[in-house]
Amino acid sequence: MLQRGMRQIAARASQADPVISLIRCCSSGASDPSSCNPDFTSLPKALVPGHQALWNPRTNKGSAFSLRERQALGIHGLVPPVVSTPELQEQKVLRNIRGQASDLDRYVQLMDLVERNEKLFYRVICNNLEEMMPLIYTPTVGLACQKYSFIYRKPQGLFITIHDLGHISDIIAAWPQDDVKAIVVTDGERILGLGDQGCAGMGIPVGKLALYTAIGGVKPWQCLPIVLDVGTDNEKLLNDPLYIGLRQKRDRSEKYDQLIDEFMKAVVSRYSYNCLIQFEDFANNNAFRLLEKYRHEYCTFNDDIQGTASVAVAGVLASLRITGTKLKDNTFVFQGAGEASLGIANLIVAAMVEEGLSIEEARKRMWMVDSRGLIVKNRASGGITEHKAHFAHDHEHIADIGQIVKALKPTALIGAAAIAGVFTEEILRDMASFNAKPIIFALSNPTSKAECTAEQAYKYTDYRAVFASGSPFDPVTTPGGKTLIPGQGNNAYVFPGIGLGVTLFGVRHVSYNMFLEASKACAELVTDKDLAEGRVYPPLKDVREVSIKIAIRTAEYAYEKNLTSLYPKPPDMEAFIRRHMYHYDYLNYEPEFYDWPSQ
């Protein structure tokens, strides 16, 4: 209640101050803040109106403020005399970033930039996606989470702890933005392939939502990163005096479910049922359980299950144009039986059913390998959960992945268990011995956890492999001089586009079929030239266009199933989407653009 009262007082204060009203209008994302019509005639002569425009990262232009803007805003002399162009600012930022000693230093530079000049940050990201994505997302974001307690500077989202039960609505009320449409939330238990990072997992929601804006065009003020801190079982963090999270073991009692339930209700209470809630990096058991619990009641999805599945299936669908086969003719072996592998397998099954197979026939083409070996019926070592049981077949139990590949002779080998180097030279050579063009997907993140490198996959299959990875790898040159460009199965191909479609059209529920539609849309954008280069995904520089196509497919499906709240349906979906996407161009604050006071 106290937080709500403070916000009401602040709101009344801003109404009385036309400058605050303007800055708030700019901060809220109005494309034409002059439409806010602030009454500047009541300004006292001594008031310097533009200081907040300079200090607010959403409105700050730094050295790009023109001379007339500086004079009108009362900030002349507060920035260097040279007036820079946005393009020059971008080059300066790039020079600073490229001059850093490590990727973590580059990450910190970028986080500093977004905290002082938001539009310049997104200009740099959008115009240099292939260079910047590995810095703000995988693999660097994993290292950033491991070092988060050291590099934390200022709040970029909300920290809600298990001790906040009963008061979560007040914490969410403290967030200054009223128009939040997309939330990414984690409890930090399974960060990439790094395991439990506790409160330091905040780097993941921050990075994901940066991509929502840079790639999906979702407005940054409509995005909210959240960590649910229930403790950590990471002894290194618990013994670290600088760790910024709760110093206790993970609470696995009924309070955990109470926390999640209260959090979900608090979100929709403030932001409505159309607010998208993306679950990120929860441990397997909680990930599946919470998705099943909430997906029919809220607008929610789990990116590790559904997003990873969608981008992997997109790569598989594109691969079929190289192998010359139909999806239903393939046999898949998954190294790992966690949320990523199970999500991929289930989505492939759905695609095979569209090709005419029954669910049972499709599942028989999926084989899972967990820490105990091949998942088969009546396995003596047990460990077969309900989700794994769908893919437990009649077969002798084999513990070793190499022997499993020899026995099953799969056409596709997919790794998603974060076991570095598990796709050995022998396994890769075996795959090449019974496949003209074996499909090898080493999807684990970060790079240090990859099942094999691109060079290994190509070299040990006589450069015949159709390869994709979760983290980026450099191009590989064949002995004949041909350059192969590894495809990166990056979730960023999918979730920003789905997020854009869901938030823009007010989609009430996110269905599994939306992710299959996204897979098809992404695969269709892979050109013959891309395939000839070894790519099974469009170039990363084109990923914003991929997001637009996925947003269209998401919206079309939602209208078909009556899941939207935006009516009437726009006649030109693509034009509507482009018109409402965030852009990094600076706003104009010059006097003729606004009704500034004459004194």
Mean pLDDT to the nearest integer, 153-178: 95
Cβ atoms 193, 445 nearer than 8 A: yes
Whether 569 sits among the annotated catalytic residues: the reply is no
Give the list of residues 6+ apart from residue 266 with CB closer than 8 angstroms, or none.
168, 169, 171, 172
Residue 4, pLDDT > 60, answer no
The pLDDT assigned to 592 comes to 62
Catalytic residue (one of 107, 122, 137, 148): 137
Residue 346's Cβ-count burial label (10 Å; 0-12, 13-18, 19+) is: buried
Report residue 20's pLDDT band, with 50, 70 and 90 as the boundaries.
Answer: very low
Residue indicated by tokens 């007339």? 68
Confidence class for position 51, pLDDT limits 50, 70, 90: confident
- Range 501-512 burial, b when 16+ CB lie within 10 A, else e: bbbbbbbbbbbb
- Percent of the chain scoring above 90 in pLDDT: 81
Q: What is the pLDDT of residues 257-305, one digit of tens each?
A: 999 999 999 999 999 999 999 999 999 889 999 999 999 999 999 999 9
Predicted confidence (pLDDT) per residue in 342-396, tens digit: 999 999 999 999 999 999 999 999 999 999 999 999 887 777 888 899 999 999 9
SS (HEC) of 229-284: ECCCCCHHHHCCCCCCCCCCCCCCCHHHHHHHHHHHHHHHHHHCCCCEEEECCCCH
What would the mean pLDDT of 314-335 be, rounded to a whole number? 97
Model confidence pLDDT, tens digit, residues 305-316? 999 999 999 999
The pLDDT confidence band at residue 15, using thresholds 50, 70 and 90, is: very low
Q: What is the mean pLDDT of the chain?
A: 90
pTM (2 d.p.): 0.88
Average pLDDT over residues 169-178: 95
The pLDDT confidence band at residue 593, using thresholds 50, 70 and 90, is: low
Model pLDDT, residue 52: 82
Any catalytic annotation for residue 298?
Answer: no
At 590 the pLDDT is 81
Residue 218: name the closest of 583, 576, 585, 554 by CA: 583
The catalytically annotated residue of 208, 388, 449, 459 is 208
Specify the pLDDT at position 10: 39
